[in-house]
Amino acid sequence: MPTKTVTYAEAIREALREEMRKDPGVFLIGEDIGLYGGAFGVTQGLLEEFGEERVIDTPISESAIAGAAIGAALVGMRPVAEIMFCDFLTLCADQIVNQGAKMRFMFGGKAKVPFVLRTPMGSGTGAAGHHSGSLESWFTHIPGLKVVAPATPRDAKGLLKSAIQDNNPVLFFEHKLLYRTKDAIPEEEYYLPLGKGEIKREGRDITIIAYSIMVMRSLEAAKILAQESIEVEVIDLRSLRPLDEELMLQSVKKTNRAVVVYEPPQFGAFGAEMVSLLMEKAFDDLDAPVLRLGGEEMPPPYNPNLERRLVPQVEDIVNIVKQVLQ
């Protein structure tokens, strides 16, 4: 299949444009997504093509954005809402958790909530405490929500198109440091299924399980470890809910060791669930305890050196892999 090279941001824009051209019920809503083109430039040019009725700039009210989108989804539209920074999901959590996530169940499946919420996540841009969070772990705990965190432009486009087609609420987390990364994607239209991970690197000695920016750092760590004849298998979960358990279990059955790497504070985050799952379902295949590597337990600092130490870096992943292999 012919390919082309695009940035992560361009891949997301392509997904939005293709789905909006295909279905007039798809529309965008959020702060500064129209004239400004989005805080990170993702929605540039879409207002000019689709107009103000389908690319809707809103007041600064995250609760209103989520509430309007969920209401529109309930009457047959397919809204894609943008919350400018994932830290602000706290302001619309009631709409997402108590309304959007529960309605299909509470109406016995008669109601559909085809609602996508896009939001930038993560540290590394010097945006400090209120604009650098990673709250994806919170929402994996809520039945009825799907949570996606792609690491590459190819995955971002294919998964976002599938999220828009889904009849359930999907939270779509985009790491800010990935927006300018480039990769080849198919020139033809394609979809990637939610709930399916991918092996980004084959290995035999240990499995690293990661998602979003930590996939890229794990791949860098794997290159370094390969120079010492340590072959690391890197799994990109892509979707946190639904979760591709089978892919993880098959990999650990082959390598017999595993590390889980993620950005949020280590305590109580999604990686803890991965460790528990592997210990419960792959215990007989393990030659060493599964370890997790998460962020420090503090708000993101403004100082760039402190911010870097907040979350796992390549050298931290190298060190924890060696620890497991000892």
The tens digit of pLDDT for each residue in 9-19 reads: 999 999 999 99
**pLDDT at residue 75, as a whole number:** 96
Do 215 and 141 have their domain in common?
no
For residue 77, the one-letter residue type is M
Provide mean pLDDT across the span 227-241: 98
Instruction: Please give the pLDDT value at position 242.
Output: 98
Q: 151 in a domain, yes or no? A: yes
Residues 12, 128 share a domain = yes
Q: Are residues 92 and 134 located together in one domain of the fold?
A: yes
Judge whether 180 lies within some domain: yes
- Residue of 19, 62, 82, 263 marked catalytic: 62
Q: Examine the pLDDT at 288 and tell me if it is beyond 90.
A: yes
Instruction: Taking residues 195-213, report their average pLDDT.
Output: 98
Residues 6+ apart with CB under 8 A from 101: 142, 143, 144, 145, 169
Q: What mean pLDDT is predicted for residues 129-157? A: 96
Residues 213, 221 contacting (CB under 8 angstroms): no
Is residue 141 located within the same domain as residue 10? yes
Q: Which domain holds residue 172?
A: 3-186
Three-state helix/strand/coil letters over the chain: CCEEEEEHHHHHHHHHHHHHHHCCCEEEEECCCCCCCCCCCCCCCHHHHHCCCCEEECCCCHHHHHHHHHHHHHCCCEEEEECCCHHHHHHHHHHHHHHHCCHHHHCCCCCCCCCEEEEEECCCCCCCCCCCCCCHHHHHCCCCCEEECCCCHHHHHHHHHHHHHCCCCEEEEEEHHHCCCEEEEECCCCCCCCCCCEEEECCCCEEEEECCHHHHHHHHHHHHHHCCCCCEEEEECCEEECCCHHHHHHHHHHHCCEEEEEEEECCCCHHHHHHHHHHHHCHHHCCCCCEEEEECCCCCCCCHHHHHHHCCCHHHHHHHHHHHHC
Task: Verify that 227 and 250 share a domain, yes or no.
Answer: yes
| Residue 290 belongs to a domain | yes
Are 106 and 226 found together in one domain?
A: no
pLDDT tens readout for residues 236-256: 999 999 999 999 999 999 999
pLDDT category at 162 given cuts 50, 70, 90 is very high
192, part of any domain: no
Model confidence at 1, pLDDT cuts 50, 70, 90, reads confident
- CATH code where residue 135 lies: 3.40.50.970
Of 127, 161, 186, the position where a domain reaches its end is 186
- What CATH number did the domain enclosing 297 receive? 3.40.50.920
* For residue 160, pLDDT beyond 90: yes
The answer to whether position 193 is within a domain reads no
The mean pLDDT of 157-166, rounded to a whole number, is 98
Residues 147 and 231 both lie in one domain: no
Comparing CA positions, the residue from 55, 62, 114, 115 lying closest to residue 92 is: 62
Give pLDDT, residue 112: 96
Q: Which of 132, 161, 186 is the last residue of a domain?
A: 186
Specify whether 141 is located in the same domain as 108: yes
Same domain, 287 and 138: no
The answer to whether residue 92 sits within a structural domain is yes
Question: Average pLDDT over the chain, rounded to whole?
Answer: 97
pLDDT-derived band of residue 59, with 50, 70 and 90 as boundaries? Answer: very high
In the chain, how many domains are there? 2
Residues 34 and 178 in one domain: yes
Catalytic residue among 131, 136, 263, 307: 131
| Separation CA 253–CA 256 (nearest Å) | 6
178 lies in the same domain as 253:
no
pLDDT category at 307 given cuts 50, 70, 90 is very high
Q: Is residue 20 part of a domain?
A: yes
* Residue where one domain finishes, among candidates 162, 186, 210: 186
Tens-place pLDDT, residues 70-106: 999 999 999 999 999 999 999 999 999 999 999 999 9
Are 101 and 237 contained in the same domain?
no
Rounded distance, CA 82 to CA 118, Å? 5
User: Which pLDDT belongs to residue 261?
Assistant: 98
Whether 131 is catalytic is: yes
Specify if 136 maps to a domain: yes
